[in-house]
Structure 1
């Protein structure tokens, strides 16, 4: 039987095994502990300073200038281990604000006024200045300069018990001075922008024309006050500054009688096309007439938006219409007497007429000449406009006595009419121009005679109502149509009916009456019924007024 021999490798020395027990800790020496403690303390100080710096930066970025200066002063004093200091702010080289800690305000104000003080020296020389105070005390002033132009916008003032700051303190002070300078400039620029924005809004609001500004992006729409007044929005809501005027624009399209034309016009503008001509629009069913034009707003060849300007031309159009009617009326009225004068003059020149006929023709020429002169006088009176008081002397005048004195003249003017004057008891004196009062009563009473061609009674009445005198002129004539009553005192207006066309006239007499009454602080009104006559009512104050 074979003998099995098993292989047994040679026994080798096992490698070194790590012991499970820990390394022996070397005992720290005292100097090592002190070094670690110092490093820990230094790290805490750095962390503390970093925290203060972060708080200062956050204050400069988020708070108002005044609040940020308070935070900066407190943190700065902690960073450099001081207890007294201040920050002074200047605007246009004048002290505008100061923040103090451990220093009296009055002390700094006096230093600011003293040209040899540390504050004024730092301000003028634009560099840090240090001066001794009492024993072992010093004061320093560090200018805060604007980054853009180097002008001094503030001063950091410090009191300290040592002569010199270390490099770290100097770095902290100068760094915060620069950051404060940048913050002040940023706030100044922001306030300037806000000021310019408000000024722009006020300028636009002062324009009488309605303005609608639309940015190229279409995101911002601005409406000035005139547009808001012209097209009141359904929902009135506006914030200070830029007005979001979408509801105004919507209101504009709702009330314009030609919204499609306006939409197409604005569409051209938004596409960069600025039509050279204006467009004529109407609104509120023709009661408002508008003339619209547009301007492109570009800065440095970059288009920012466009401005649509709407002018209210309603009164201009009405005035043009009235003036056209006036020219037509005056032309007709001038032509009639001129034709009569020319015709009868030619007859007298070409024919030999007997005495009675020649006299009749001459009387006709004279009457037409008088009529022509009266017409020209009325036109000249209207041309004076509202300033009827120019060159007129006013004095205390008794209107009751004046009317009674003028009564015979009116009675001679027409044999068909009876003139009655009835005044109740009272004092009818007022400050007035006698010449203009005579013109007023002449126009009203002669008007009553003219528009009651069949004759009748014309009554002039007067009574007192407190300190007011009330005078009425009543006739029994053809009356005024109801639809014409609101316009009878307008310049160039004439009631359009067959009776008035037969009587003639320029429509200027009552407009002149209204101007005279308004110049004397009074009021005039009319009540009338067709076929039954008219009553004109005057009201004046009897109280003394200065000329």
Structure 2
């Protein structure tokens, strides 16, 4: 309090002194400035009359504290009382000269930041068109204030000392009865009427605190135990199921408004998993359930809080496991699809092998059936390799290092590998564009482009075409594969990159493949921070575009 009063009094004193000083300086400076301007005008008019009557001879023996300059109508200096006219430049660009030449009278003020001075110029146009200028140098307000720094500082110091002495005396008198108050037993007959309500409130609160202390200590200990392992949504209830505490997360998860008073825990959620977990926890046994709320899944953990083998309450935690459940579902689907895809070739191999063992195949047909075994086993090997490759990409376990890869050269190599397959299908290849360098794993990019071009052949018509384009769009590299095949329906275009997803299962199995080609394309593009776009119309063909975010200099 003493410090606050001292600061307040000191601030008032300083501001008052400064305000008075500024006001006085402003009034005095304005007055003297006006007087100086009037004197300058009179001096200029007097000199102008003398010059018009006597000419240049008027300045013989001429002395004045003001600086006098006489200039021709063109701005050439004829006379200057303080400088050699031969060394002076033309003054036609001076503000006061131009104004006087045009209107008869000109004024200007210029400041010197280095000398903290200002110069007032007053110019008159004479009858012959020449211009007479009289100037006077004055100190600025800042210079005058700096001159008063010492006396102002002394006055401020005196004000500070006086404020300190007064505030110390006032504070001691004010705080003496306040310091004498006993918070445990306040004297209601206070010296100051202003603090009597405060003393009565302290007395009332002391009584309430005394009544609640024991209860508060017990609740604090229970709360500490119940919230020790809180992670996400939290509900704390007593042994009767009345909620003692909750957090904002549980209200958002369960979609309930913030309760205004104590509520039963079943009012937060009435689903069967929630009820079973709570009942089991109240019986003294930990419980775990999965709670589905809209599109989200939550693991519900209900734990009893026991004291001397008696359940005093329960703690319910809700943990968001939506992503975990989604990954588990994908794992199950993937396992099921892999098993299904491998079952078909294994069944064929098993059947043919059984026929061979039973010797029911004619010798002339053995080669044909051996070829079927070779074809089905190759299909299984391709499926296993693709599955392992996707697994490594999922786990970011790619061992190859990235290197500069020319997409145009890569496209030429892939097309060369597929020339024979394209010829058998009577599909022609074409390559357009330019050389574009990107940073990537060559084998992965090669397989990505191979899968796109291979699909362009498999799902094409006879006499169809597959066009591979390599382009540079600013800093981006674009790899485009366009075919004239059967196309993809709009409703399937968002799912074709899913593992084992086939638009036409009968057609896809007839032409072979593992069903993982486009999934490998998507994962390869993601590994290289690239984007895959597809544009297709049934019966007109498809265009797959891979956009790399950054290219290298060739």
TM-score by length of 2: 0.51
1:268 to 272, 279, 296: 279
SS at match of 1:472: strand
User: Do 2:456 and 2:483's aligned partners in 1 also have CA atoms closer than 8 Å?
Assistant: yes
Partner Cα distance (2:389, 2:442) in 1: 16
Match of 2:427 in 1: 418
1:315-345 deviation per Cα after TM superposition (whole angstroms, max 9, x unaligned): 4444444444433433333233233334445
Partner Cα distance (1:535, 1:444) in 2: 10
Match of 1:54 in 2: 181
Stretches of structure 2 that go unaligned for 5 or more consecutive residues are 1-174, 187-212
Partner Cα distance (1:245, 1:312) in 2: 27
Partner Cα distance (2:274, 2:380) in 1: 53
User: Do 2:427 and 2:460's aligned partners in 1 also have CA atoms closer than 8 Å?
Assistant: no
Are 1:327 and 2:351 an aligned pair? no
Match of 1:221 in 2: 245
2:521 to 491, 513, 526: 513
Partner Cα distance (2:253, 2:303) in 1: 20
Shift of 1:413: 1.9
What is the number of residues matched between the two proteins?
A: 344
1:75-126 deviation per Cα after TM superposition (whole angstroms, max 9, x unaligned): xxxxxxxxxxxxxxxxxxxxxxxxxxxxxxxxxxxxxxxxxxxxxxxxxxxx
In structure 2, the CA distance between the partners of 1:330 and 1:404, relative to structure 1 (3 Å rule), is: same
1:446 to 445, 454, 458: 454
Match of 2:381 in 1: 373
Shift of 1:395: 0.8
Match of 1:525 in 2: 533
User: Do 1:234 and 1:251's aligned partners in 2 also have CA atoms closer than 8 Å?
Assistant: no
Partner Cα distance (2:391, 2:299) in 1: 28
In structure 2, the CA distance between the partners of 1:501 and 1:369, relative to structure 1 (3 Å rule), is: closer
Match of 1:309 in 2: 317
Provide the aligned C-alpha RMSD in A.
4.5
2:235 to 212, 236, 260: 212
TM-score by length of 1: 0.52
User: Do 2:405 and 2:439's aligned partners in 1 also have CA atoms closer than 8 Å?
Assistant: yes
Superposition pairs of residues 36-185 of structure 1, within 5 angstroms? 52-54=179-181
Partner Cα distance (1:447, 1:400) in 2: 19
2:293 to 262, 283, 292: 283
Match of 1:364 in 2: 372
In structure 2, the CA distance between the partners of 1:276 and 1:410, relative to structure 1 (3 Å rule), is: same
1:403 to 411, 421, 424: 411
Shift of 1:439: 1.4
Partner Cα distance (1:453, 1:338) in 2: 31
Partner Cα distance (2:524, 2:261) in 1: 45
1:135-159 deviation per Cα after TM superposition (whole angstroms, max 9, x unaligned): xxxxxxxxxxxxxxxxxxxxxxxxx
In structure 2, the CA distance between the partners of 1:537 and 1:58, relative to structure 1 (3 Å rule), is: farther
Shift of 1:536: 2.0
SS at match of 1:376: helix
Shift of 1:461: 2.1
User: Do 1:329 and 1:506's aligned partners in 2 also have CA atoms closer than 8 Å?
Assistant: no
More helix by share: 2
Partner Cα distance (1:252, 1:486) in 2: 39
User: Do 1:297 and 1:305's aligned partners in 2 also have CA atoms closer than 8 Å?
Assistant: yes
In structure 2, the CA distance between the partners of 1:280 and 1:439, relative to structure 1 (3 Å rule), is: same
User: Do 1:469 and 1:542's aligned partners in 2 also have CA atoms closer than 8 Å?
Assistant: yes
Shift of 1:466: 1.4
Shift of 1:436: 0.9
Shift of 1:479: 3.6
In structure 2, the CA distance between the partners of 1:299 and 1:430, relative to structure 1 (3 Å rule), is: farther
In structure 2, the CA distance between the partners of 1:498 and 1:273, relative to structure 1 (3 Å rule), is: farther
Partner Cα distance (1:245, 1:473) in 2: 65
User: Do 1:420 and 1:457's aligned partners in 2 also have CA atoms closer than 8 Å?
Assistant: yes
Match of 1:464 in 2: 472
Shift of 1:412: 1.4
Shift of 1:497: 5.4
Partner Cα distance (2:472, 2:252) in 1: 41
